[in-house]
A and B are shown apart, each in its own frame.
Chain A
């Protein structure tokens, strides 16, 4: 009996946690999206710079840290194992066009509204 109650409580906690994160995401996604858009426009307009790549990495890391639990498995893998390693590679091997494609992917993800109920 105790084990069943413990498992049920854990499940409820998990659902509540997800709902809280989803609400926070819905409130903040516009700000994140606009920041990523601003960076993408900068790359379009004047190309990459080391400072810009570092700022992008910080933004991607903070997005992942805050909303990892909301991402699908495919989204998580793409950001964690493709986009971040790409931005972490040697600066001379980072290409503006490819970077903008990855930014477009994240901007697209940030258009999605999360269910909170």
Chain B
């Protein structure tokens, strides 16, 4: 199987497993998954001009549109993050060792990654949907 076919099949499989809730994603925010983002170089040191000790790592990804899930059986993390600057989507398959990570971000995958992002966001409740349902009950 070519790498391109394997990549497309992998994204499609992620999409279907996400839609059927077979995998559960979490927000890749700096609080909960600081170590993961830090090890993937998805943070940068933001200097505090007045107090060097208060300088801290800040994410370079859009925290509302970046997610991860962990496959404990296969010792692997999968990260889908949105670049804060240009809005590009990047999918990274990361072994627990952080060695030999694979990044999928070619333009040809934008459509499939956008679909995946939409499916992931559907896993999280929207307050307005809750209010709608609540009124209908």
Interface residues of A (CB under 8 A from B): 30-31, 34-35, 37-39, 41-42, 45-46, 49-52, 55, 91
Please pick, from A30, A37, A41, A50, the residue contacting B126 in the complex, using a CB distance under 8 A: A50
A-B contact count (CB 8 A): 53
CA distance A46 to B16 in the complex (A): 11
User: Known contacts A35-B114, A38-B114, A39-B114: does B107 contact A49 (CB below 8 Å)?
Assistant: no
The bracket for how many chain B residues form the interface is 10 to 19
Give, as a whole number of angstroms, the nearest-CB distance from B120 to chain A.
10
Given A34-B108, A37-B111, A51-B121, 19 additional A-B pairs, CB 8 A: A31-B88, A34-B107, A34-B110, A34-B111, A35-B111, A35-B114, A38-B111, A38-B117, A38-B118, A39-B115, A41-B115, A42-B118, A45-B19, A46-B19, A46-B118, A46-B119, A49-B121, A51-B126, A52-B118
Chain A interface main SS type: helix
Q: Is B79 an interface residue (CB 8 A)?
A: no
CA distance A42 to B118 in the complex (A): 7
Q: Is B101 an interface residue (CB 8 A)?
A: no
- Asked if B119 contacts A42 (CB within 8 A), the reply is yes
Residues of B within 8 A of A34 (CB): 107-108, 110-111, 114
